[in-house]
Amino acid sequence: MLIEKIAGRTITNLWPARKGTIGEIVLEARGFSAKGKFSDIDLYVRRGEIIGLYGLVGAGRSETVRAIFGADKFDSGDLYIHGKKVVIRSPKTAIKKGLALVTEDRLTTGIIPDQSIRENVAVAYLPSIINRWNMVDEKKEQRDVREMVEILSVKYADLTQAVSSLSGGNQQKTIVGKWLLTKPEILILDEPTRGIDVGAKSEIHRLIAELADEGMAVIMVSSELPEIEGMSDRVYVFRDGKICAEFKKEELAANEVVKQAFGIEHRGSNDR
């Protein structure tokens, strides 16, 4: 197959099989609004669930998840984790609350190009390995980073090499690894496979599915409709800064999702 030739290896299934079960609601946003960006956003994600956020560029998807993570300001609305109201105004607080965000632009907000693989993967979780002398436990850092990049099958020569020397797919894996070291309960991925080759996409999809099967709550923003359909348990469609429709897995049909994104007709489900 052409895809296999491009990838350089056999890909038996573009979309990984799911084995886990979906549990209780982990995170919920109610009435989330930021003037000029998004308004009245109501969404939730459950344990072991992947929700997809789909819409045209500028529809408010990325702005919403950045605000949930505390990276951008919002004007009104509430966030709940396991049913308890939380206030998140910074990424530092979000990390403490069990959230992680793989940002949309890998090169400007995902990696630190001139720094090493080790430094890039370790940067978000360093506060958790400060020893009693208020110094980073370098042996633990080295061990944890090496273990993480091996689990994610990152192709590299040495942990000291610049992360910018890696391929796009391997850079993306290091970003995911950075956040997994923080042991998040809620993983937010904004365009997780943009700009990487077909084989790397398959590996990222498998990883996302495995994390969900292990109980992680996953929010995935994507402009690729096949990815949204293939990976999501539920989909929220954004248009003009609002959620205009919600689809369960069994309701997903490309033409219906696209119609909603363009505002052609109304359809969706709000059942829990």
pLDDT confidence band for 265 (50 / 70 / 90): low
Residue closest to 20 by CA, chosen among 216, 243, 241: 216
Q: How far apart are CA 203 and CA 208, in angstroms?
A: 9
Question: Residue 14: which pLDDT band, with cuts at 50, 70 and 90?
Answer: confident
Cβ atoms of 49 and 217 within 8 Å: the answer is yes
Handedness of CA 145, 150, 152, 154 (dihedral sign): positive
pTM over 0.85: yes
pLDDT tens figures, 170-194: 999 999 999 999 999 999 999 999 9
pLDDT of the residue at 135: 86
Q: What are phi and psi of 140, to 5 degrees?
A: -65, -40
Task: Give the pLDDT confidence score for residue 118 in this predicted structure.
Answer: 95
Percent of the chain past pLDDT 90, that is, above it, reads 76
**Alpha carbons 99 and 215: distance in angstroms, whole number:** 14
Kindly report, residue by residue over 194-232, the tens digit of the pLDDT. Answer: 989 888 999 999 999 999 999 999 999 999 999 999 999
DSSP H helices in 69-116 = 91-96
Using alpha carbons, list the distances in angstroms from residue 207 to 15, 211, 212. Answer: 11, 6, 9
